[in-house]
Amino acid sequence: MQLFLCLSQHVLSGVLTENTHTAIFRRTSTFTALNFVSMAQPTPYSGFVQQMPKLNNEFTDDAFLQDYLRTYFPTDSLKEITPDLEQFGKRTAGEFMDWARDAEVNKPQLIQFDAWGNRIDEIKVSQGWLNLEKVAAEDGLVAIGYERKYGEHSRLYQFVKLYLYTASSAIYTCPLAMTDGAARLIEVYGNDFLKREVFTGLTSRNPQQFKTSGQWMTERTGGSDVSRSMTFAMPDGEDYILSGHKWFTSAITANVAFTLASTEQPEAGKRAPLSLFYLPIRHADGKLNGIEVEALKDKLGTRALPTAQLLLTGAKAKMVGEKGKGVRTIATLFNITRIYNTISAVSYLRRAYSLSKAYSAMREAFGQKIENHTLHRKTLREMEMAYQGNALFAFFVSRLLGKEECNTATESEKELLRFLTPVAKLYTAKQSIKYASEHIEVFGGIGYLEDSGIPVMLRDVQTLSIWEGTTNVLSLDMLRAAEKENGLQAFYAFTQEIFSKAQLAETQQLKNSLQKKANVFFAFAKSLQSAEERIASSRDMAFYVAELTIALLWLDFLQTNYATGNYAATLQYLLRYTMNEEILHTAKELGLV
């Protein structure tokens, strides 16, 4: 310290001369010699290097997931699929993560011209990305939903695998979502050509035959509001020629795409109706089908995913479904992609928890592992409750989808699926963002370093609240389903069914508290007299519906799992500290109505 002060005084006065230096050295030579000897002796922590947390098996280590499957999946069928889930869970904690990191680091590149000046618009992706595509085909991440080996439970099996896969996939789930949505759309609206030539590729397990699909809706004029489309379709025999611009197209490396276009020029003051079209992205010779790739988007996250800006200069396409009913037709596709979005959010919630938990068992602070600090245990418990509750919601929606597709759903269940799908998507997306941020904080400073690989989760989940509809757009979609598709009545019927089945004596107090929460919601919904009030309250209602649904699903789950783990405490916490009916009145409090 004396040396530092002496040096500081002379440096600040600008008089650090040779004589000054000699004098300082003479006065401190003994001190510095002793100091260097002291520094040569390492502290107990001099060689410390913090080890990275490692995951073991994302299926076998997820006790909640196994409890859930034992509760809702047929016993004999569960025995059949368990070995597959075990091997897949092991790979998601190993090589899949390596491939994802490769895809994240080696981002897609657009090569617009070859050496001779020919326009080629080639997209180069990493080997990791190609590996993730290959395993998606081989493991049937789309195919399982259409093989329907387990009937209405096939969708649950499929989405459990996607839940394991997404957080290790560099979000390759995005092209899978659009591929699955395209397959379902063809199943409902496709002609013989699409079912024969396209559907079989979209649902294949053979990597050589597997095809992926894009979904091109966003233009410069709007994303959620597609009615001002700039894309025009000119008849060409039985086909159409598309001209226009697509501002944001995910997975441009796909084989095919579905897009909206107008077949007639809009009249003054009116918007032309849109139709849905199928097009191959490239011809058999590998050349693009009347498409120019203007740029790859520079995005906050999902950097491994090639997202492009396109100019359609005469793309040959086929109309799908009824002319002028394109938005209604493509809704079949994006209902599937919204459920994928939901599953993806829950996958990241689970991964944030599992990595945080693994790190907490390794990292020491203030004399003990951080998992032993009370406040840190509270953080982990909140992360655990979040992933489990959101998983209940996501898997329930996937079960409803399976029932609808296998024609075992009642009309009320179909209406409930339509009502809950936008709610599940918006709520889980917001939750994933919240806990991806918490996940970074658990890791402290290293969580803020890009080369640790930890921040990528927060960057990627940010897209989940935007893609396939923002929170406000989806809130209005829930409102539309409530008013025009009997959604609110279907939701009420669902609550009553859960309450009638909840006969376990130990859950009666929880049931009574939850019934009061439900009654508050339905009374509030009934009190809204004007469209303006309903619109202003729709977002708050959507969040309350989400939490009410999760609580109802916990109550149902507890009927056979009350003595397992701390599930009952989770529902008690949700009812007492999370669900706040006052949120329903915020629009009025803010003077919006």
Beta strands in 48-190 (DSSP E): 109-113, 119-124
Distance CA 317, CA 289 (A): 9
For residues 178 and 262, state if they share a domain.
Answer: no
Q: Is the pTM of this model over 0.85?
A: yes
For the chain, percent of residues with pLDDT exceeding 70: 93
pLDDT of residue 41: 59
The neighbour count for residue 79, using CB atoms within 10 Å, is 10
Residue 516 within a domain:
yes
Q: How far is CA 426 from CA 312, 478, 504, 576, in A?
A: 32, 10, 32, 23
Domain that holds residue 248: 213-324
Distance CA 127, CA 175 (A): 16
In the structure encoding, which two tokens stand for residue 356, read together?
A: 């945080």
In the structure encoding, which two tokens stand for residue 336, read together?
A: 């599937």
391-449 pLDDT, tens digit per residue, is 999 999 999 999 999 999 999 999 999 999 999 999 999 999 999 999 999 999 999 99
Of the two residues 19 and 276, the one the predictor is more confident about is: 276
Mean pLDDT value across residues 583-588? 93
Residue 416 within a domain:
no
Which of 175, 202, 229 delimits the end of a domain?
A: 202
For residues 224 and 193, state if they share a domain.
Answer: no
Beta strands at 119-124 and 256-262: parallel, antiparallel or unpaired: unpaired
Residue 476 within a domain:
no
pLDDT, the chain, mean: 92
Rounded to 5 degrees, φ, ψ at 176 are -65, -40
70-116 pLDDT, tens digit per residue, is 999 999 999 999 999 999 999 999 999 999 999 999 999 999 999 99
Residue 425 within a domain:
no
At residue 265, the 3 state secondary structure works out as: coil
| 212, pLDDT greater than 60 | yes
The neighbour count for residue 585, using CB atoms within 10 Å, is 12
Which of 202, 235, 251 delimits the end of a domain?
A: 202
Mean pLDDT value across residues 148-173? 98
Distance CA 402, CA 399 (A): 5
229-239 pLDDT, tens digit per residue, is 889 999 999 99
DSSP code at position 222: B
pLDDT of residue 33: 46
For residues 520 and 553, state if they share a domain.
Answer: yes
For residues 192 and 241, state if they share a domain.
Answer: no
| CATH code for the domain in which residue 237 is found | 2.40.110.20
Rounded to 5 degrees, φ, ψ at 430 are -65, -40
pLDDT of residue 2: 41
pLDDT of residue 269: 60
Which of 174, 202, 230 delimits the end of a domain?
A: 202
Residue 342 within a domain:
no
| 17, pLDDT greater than 60 | no
Of the two residues 521 and 327, the one the predictor is more confident about is: 521
Rounded to 5 degrees, φ, ψ at 246 are -120, 120
For residues 224 and 310, state if they share a domain.
Answer: yes
Decide if 151 contacts 144 (C-beta within 8 A): no
Count of structural domains, the chain: 3
For residues 185 and 78, state if they share a domain.
Answer: yes
- DSSP states of 373-385: SHHHHHHHHHHHH
Decide if 246 contacts 272 (C-beta within 8 A): no
Residue 378 within a domain:
no
The neighbour count for residue 57, using CB atoms within 10 Å, is 18
For residues 192 and 238, state if they share a domain.
Answer: no
Residue 146 within a domain:
yes
28-80 pLDDT, tens digit per residue, is 444 444 454 455 557 888 888 888 899 999 999 999 999 999 999 999 999 99
For residues 197 and 253, state if they share a domain.
Answer: no
pLDDT of residue 39: 52
Residue 10 within a domain:
no
For residues 141 and 164, state if they share a domain.
Answer: yes
For residues 180 and 217, state if they share a domain.
Answer: no
In the structure encoding, which two tokens stand for residue 383, read together?
A: 């992360």
DSSP code at position 205: S
In the structure encoding, which two tokens stand for residue 156, read together?
A: 């649950």
| 355, pLDDT greater than 50 | yes
The neighbour count for residue 12, using CB atoms within 10 Å, is 9
215-267 pLDDT, tens digit per residue, is 998 888 777 777 778 899 999 999 999 999 999 998 899 999 999 999 987 77
For residues 225 and 186, state if they share a domain.
Answer: no
Distance CA 379, CA 375 (A): 6
Which strand (E) or helix (H) includes residue 221?
none
CB neighbours of 252 closer than 8 A, spacing ≥ 6?
Answer: 123, 214, 281, 293, 296, 306, 307, 308, 310
For residues 72 and 122, state if they share a domain.
Answer: yes
